[in-house]
Structure 1
Amino acid sequence: MTNEFDWKTWFFKVWEDNRHLTNNVAPALASADALDKTPVEGMRSFRQLLLEIWGIERAYAQGLGHDDWQGQAPPETLHTASVDELFAFGREVREQTRQVWSTIPFESLTQVRPDPFWGGPEGTVMGWLTYALENEIHHRGQGYVYLRLLGHEPPAFYVRTES
């Protein structure tokens, strides 16, 4: 019997739980007819934040799963697509990530390599994925604030299942 902790499985579970939280905020903003609104000039809409979250995830999944580090932005059409089309893209990205995650050896997550997208310092893929998760948490927090500013009660942040 081994006492070795499975970091890869743990991280993906945390990421999944956080995605459920984000996926609960997005429909709440859509229901409030606020997915494309910004509370203050200069801030981005939650739609734009979602596209950033999903774009980063898709880029890393493509890189890790297929050694394709091109990092394509989400389709421009999603900036004006229906809510259903927008959310379908998010589900598609997550499903692609789920499919490649099991094929990724843990060692490739901890290997130091050059930053493939932003020209930052060398790092590990796990470090970059941690950044992506922290970025998602930050943007989800903006969604909670947007809802409060509109006078809507945001979904409970401790419910880590999709509603």
Structure 2
Amino acid sequence: MLSMTELLEILEGNRKLTIRTIEAFPEDELFTFTAVESMRPYSEMVQEVLGIETGYVRGIATSVWDWQPDQFDVQSKADLLAACHSVRNQTIELWEKITEERLALVESDPFFGPPTSHFSRLLYCLENEIHHRGQGFVYLRALGIEPPMFFER
């Protein structure tokens, strides 16, 4: 129902909103603020999002499955923004290798277990980003900062 181009545009629109969410954070709160003790700072959530995207897109495109949760050396807001752009550039480079037939393929998930389609993996990447960005919105509001407008991509 979606073309590969349309799917990439959806991923891109969401990443732009995630980047604007990162930009809204004060530098120190990006790396330290949590709403409750059991939650992580937004910077850690974003690094998870980037790691899963890297692992899944590379795996879907090349059948090389490698996810390293701590793969980014992020020490500042600028580093995190650079990582966002770098991961998305890698995704765009690999995108041409991903076919609709490849997306329909169902295989065991090398990271989380049960068999699923590669298309479902990409949807998981998108849902994970949206979920964590929602947490970032809550953090921003708790800090007295208006989050970016959701509809502006």
TM-score by length of 1: 0.87
1:16-55 counterparts in 2 under 5 A? 16-30=12-26, 33-36=28-31, 37-55=33-51
Moved over 6 A (4+): none
Deviation digits for residues 17-42 of structure 1 (CA, Å, limit 9, x no counterpart): 111111110110135x4101112111
Deviation digits for residues 123-145 of structure 1 (CA, Å, limit 9, x no counterpart): 10111111111111011011111
Between Structure 1 and Structure 2, how many residues are aligned? 152
Q: How far apart in 2 are the matches of 1:98 and 1:51?
A: 18
Structure 1 unaligned spans of 5+: none
Q: CA deviation at 1:85?
A: 1.7
Whether 1:64 and 2:47 are equivalent positions in the alignment is: no
Q: How far apart in 2 are the matches of 1:148 and 1:52?
A: 22
Whether 1:12 and 2:8 are equivalent positions in the alignment is: yes
Aligned-residue RMSD, C-alpha? 1.5
Check conservation: 2:106, 2:116, Cα contact below 8 A.
yes
Structure with higher Rg: it is 1
State the identity %.
41
Deviation digits for residues 82-112 of structure 1 (CA, Å, limit 9, x no counterpart): 2212221121110000011122111000111
Structure 2 unaligned spans of 5+: none
Whether 1:132 and 2:125 are equivalent positions in the alignment is: yes
Amino acid at match of 1:85: D
